[in-house]
Amino acid sequence: MKKIRGRLLLVLFLSVISLYLFIPSWPSVYNGIPDGFKWLIPPRGVSLGLDLQGGIHLVLEVEKDRAVEIAVDRAAKAMQDLLTDKDIAYETIERVGGVQVQLDVSEEGKVEEVAELIRDSFSSYFQASQEGRTLVFELIAPEVERIKNSAINQALETIRNRIDQFGVTEPLLQRQGRTEIVIQLPGVKDPERAKNLIQDTALLEFKMVDEDNETKLGLPLQVKRSEEQAVREKFADQVPEGSEILFESIQNGEDGMPEFSQPRLIRQGAVLTGDVLRDARVNYDDFSEIYVGVTFDSKGASEFGKITKANVGKFMAIVLDGTVYSVPRINEPILGGRAQITGNFTTDEANDLAIVLRAGALPAPMKTVQDLTVGPSLGRDSIEKGLKTTMIAGIIVLIFMVIYYRLSGVIADAALVLNLLCLLGALSGLNATLTLPGIAGIILTIGMGVDSNILIFERIREELRQGRPVRLAVDAGYEKAFLTIVDSHVTTLITGLALFVFGTGPIKGFAVTLCLGIAINLFTALIGTKVVFDLINRRKLERLSI
C-alpha cells in the first residue's frame, strides 16, 4: 500500500509544479498576484508565435558583392580627393567592374607620380595595369574576402540598433549560414513600416545639383511616381557625363492623393556621406514643419563647412538611398556642423529616418529571401478559433469517454486533464513558443492520450468477459496493454524527433509539443490512471464500471 501513496504523491507533485509553471502564461491570474509576491512566480511563460499574435518573420540576404563595390567606390572617391589635394589634374577616376579603380590622368608625365602616390596611400590596392595615361588599381583578394565577411556582421549590428530604437518586445535576430539574417518581430502593429525601417540601406549623401545643365535639359516640373522610369529613359541620351537624374518626392501618396515627384539633375559623386553623422533628431521649425536635424562629427563639420563655403548660392541635394529629400540653397557657409533634412514627412517617417540615420547605413543592400507577415487581426482570429474548437473537441471527447466507459471514463478524463496540465506547464517552463501547428500537436497528444486509455480499457473488458475478478482483470489489462502503448509511443516519438531535428519553422513547433506530449502521455496513462485503479481495487470491488 505504501507504493500507492508514493505514486499518488508524485502525481500530485507534478500537477502542482505544472500549475505553478503555467501561471505566468495565464495573464488574468498572473496580473491578479500582488506585486510583492511576483518574485515567487517564474517571470516568463509560453509566448505566442507570429501566427497567433501577428508579426514579421524576415530572412534577408546581404548582397556581398555590392558591399565590395561600395567599398571600392569609396576608395575611388578618396583617390580623387588625394589628387585634388596634390593639385594633379585627372579626367576620370571611377570603379570599373567589381574590384578595380581606373584612373585617367590628364598629363602623361604625371602618371608615374600618381601610381606611386596611390601605392603609398592605398595599401590594400595593387597596380593591375598601366597603359598610356590610364592606370588600373585592384583591391587585393584577402581584402575582398574581409569586406564580404564583415558585411553581414555590420548589417546585423546596424539592424539590431535600428530595432532596439524602434522598440519591439522580444525581437529575434540571428545570423543563418554565411550570408543570411533571420529577423522575427512579434506583435508589430505596422509591419510595412517596420520592414522599411529594417531594409532601407539608409545611405545619406549630400550631392550638388548640376544647375547649368538642368535648365538646358528642360526636365518636366512634376511627374507621377509610375512615370519616373519613362522620364529616365527619355532623357538618357541627353544627360551629361558625371550627372544623373534623381527624383525628389514633392507629394506623397497620403489621403489617396497621387504621388508626384520632380526630376532633378544631380552630379554623381557625393560631396559628403552619412558616415560623418554624430546624431539625428526630429524637430519642428518655426512654421511647425517637421524636419530631421543632423549633427556632424568634427571631421564632418569641417568638411561640410568647406563645401558650403565653396558653393554659396548653389543648390545642394540631400539624397537618401537614391531619393532626393530636399534641395536647399546654400545661403552662407554652414560652420556649426548642423544641417536640416526637410521633406514631406509624417511624424512616423521623420522618426524612422532619424532612427536609421543614428543607427548608420547598411554596408550593402539586403535582398529579401523570405517574408512572412501576419496581421494582428488574423492572429487573434486564429487563436480564438483554434482554441475554441480545440476546447469544443476536447469536451466532446470527454463526454464520449464517460458515455462509453462510465466511471472508468471519468478516470480517463481526469488523466486527460492532468495530461494537458502537465503539457502546458512544461511548455510554459521551457518558455516555448506556441504556434498553430503547436496547437495541432496538442490536439494529437490528446488523441494519443485517449487512445492509451482505450487500449487499456478494452483489454480490461476482455479480461472481465473471460470471467476474471476485477482486480486481476485491471492488473492484466494494464500489463498486456503496457508494451503496446510503449511501442506505439516510441514509434511516434521517433517521427517527432526526426521532425524536430530536420524540420524548420512551423514543423519544429509541432514536433516540440508532440514529443513533450508523448512523454507526458506515457506517464499519465501508465502511472496516473493506474494509481487510481489501485486505490479503487483496495475496496475489493465485485463489479467495475467500465
**Residues 6 or more apart whose Cβ sits within 8 Å of residue 237:** none
Closest CB 364 distance from other proteins, rounded Å: 14
Among 28, 218, 403, 539, binds other proteins (CB under 8 A): 403
Residue 494 contacts other proteins per CB under 8 A: yes
Residue 454 contacts other proteins per CB under 8 A: yes
Secondary structure (DSSP) of 271-315 = SEEGGGEEEEEEEE-TT--EEEEEEE-HHHHHHHHHHHHHTTTSB
Residue 525 contacts other proteins per CB under 8 A: no
- In this structure, what C-alpha cell is assigned to residue 278? 554624430
Among 1, 40, 221, 501, binds other proteins (CB under 8 A): 501
Based on CB atoms, which residue is closest to other proteins, 169 or 377? 377
Residue 458 contacts other proteins per CB under 8 A: yes
Q: Are strands 204-208 and 272-273 parallel, antiparallel or unpaired?
A: antiparallel
Closest CB 48 distance from other proteins, rounded Å: 14
Task: Answer whether 102's CB lies under 8 Å from 93's CB.
Answer: yes
In angstroms, the first-to-last Cα distance of the chain is 24
Among 514, 520, 522, 536, binds other proteins (CB under 8 A): 514
Among 400, 407, 430, 541, binds other proteins (CB under 8 A): 400
Region 35-54 residues binding other proteins, contact defined as CB under 8 A = 51
Report how far residue 158's alpha carbon sits from residue 169's, in angstroms, rounded to the nearest whole number: 18
Based on CB atoms, which residue is closest to other proteins, 461 or 471? 461
Residue 487 contacts other proteins per CB under 8 A: yes
Based on CB atoms, which residue is closest to other proteins, 126 or 400? 400
Report how far residue 336's alpha carbon sits from residue 352's, in angstroms, rounded to the nearest whole number: 25
Report how far residue 433's alpha carbon sits from residue 422's, in angstroms, rounded to the nearest whole number: 16
Based on CB atoms, which residue is closest to other proteins, 371 or 475? 371
Closest CB 248 distance from other proteins, rounded Å: 21
**Residues 6 or more apart whose Cβ sits within 8 Å of residue 61:** 179, 180, 181, 366, 367, 368, 369
Residue 520 contacts other proteins per CB under 8 A: no
Secondary structure (DSSP) of 71-106 = HHHHHHHHHHHHHHHTT--EEEEEEETTTEEEEEES
Closest CB 540 distance from other proteins, rounded Å: 21
Region 75-134 residues binding other proteins, contact defined as CB under 8 A = none
Among 141, 310, 393, 407, binds other proteins (CB under 8 A): 393
Task: Answer whether 526's CB lies under 8 Å from 412's CB.
Answer: no
DSSP-derived 3-state class of residue 542? coil
Region 292-351 residues binding other proteins, contact defined as CB under 8 A = none
Report how far residue 444's alpha carbon sits from residue 439's, in angstroms, rounded to the nearest whole number: 9
Stretch in the footprint of other proteins (CB under 8 A) among 18-26, 214-222, 280-288, 493-501: 493-501
Stretch in the footprint of other proteins (CB under 8 A) among 206-214, 242-250, 314-322, 460-468: 460-468
How many residues does this entry show for the chain? Answer: 546
Residue 396 contacts other proteins per CB under 8 A: yes
Among 86, 216, 388, 538, binds other proteins (CB under 8 A): 388
Torsion of CA 181, 49, 489, 544, to 10 degrees: 170
Residue 193 contacts other proteins per CB under 8 A: no
Number of chain residues interacting with other proteins (CB under 8 A): 77
Task: Answer whether 319's CB lies under 8 Å from 266's CB.
Answer: yes
Residue 385 contacts other proteins per CB under 8 A: yes
Over the window 204 to 243, marking each residue x when it contacts other proteins by CB under 8 A and - when it does not, the resulting string is: ----------------------------------------
Based on CB atoms, which residue is closest to other proteins, 127 or 368? 368
Phi, psi of 159 (to 5 degrees): -65, -40
* E runs forming strands in 297-451: 316-320, 323-326, 338-341, 366-374, 433-434
Report how far residue 477's alpha carbon sits from residue 460's, in angstroms, rounded to the nearest whole number: 4
Closest CB 13 distance from other proteins, rounded Å: 29
Based on CB atoms, which residue is closest to other proteins, 333 or 503? 503
Residue 175 contacts other proteins per CB under 8 A: no
Q: Are strands 55-62 and 90-96 parallel, antiparallel or unpaired?
A: unpaired
Stretch in the footprint of other proteins (CB under 8 A) among 133-141, 270-278, 339-347, 476-484: 476-484
Based on CB atoms, which residue is closest to other proteins, 316 or 485? 485
Region 51-70 residues binding other proteins, contact defined as CB under 8 A = 51, 59
Residue 150 contacts other proteins per CB under 8 A: no
Region 345-384 residues binding other proteins, contact defined as CB under 8 A = 367-375, 377-378, 381-382
Among 499, 516, 520, 525, binds other proteins (CB under 8 A): 499
Single-letter amino acid, residue 344: N
Q: Residue 499: which H helix or E strand, with range?
A: helix 470-502
Region 431-450 residues binding other proteins, contact defined as CB under 8 A = 436-437, 439-441, 443-444, 446-448, 450
Among 480, 526, 535, 537, binds other proteins (CB under 8 A): 480
Using only C-alpha atoms, what is the Rg of the chain?
35
Secondary structure (DSSP) of 7-36 = HHHHHHHHHHHHHHHHGGG-HHHHTTS-GG
Q: Give the number of C-alpha atoms closer than 13 A to the C-alpha of residue 370, restricted to the C-beta side.
A: 11
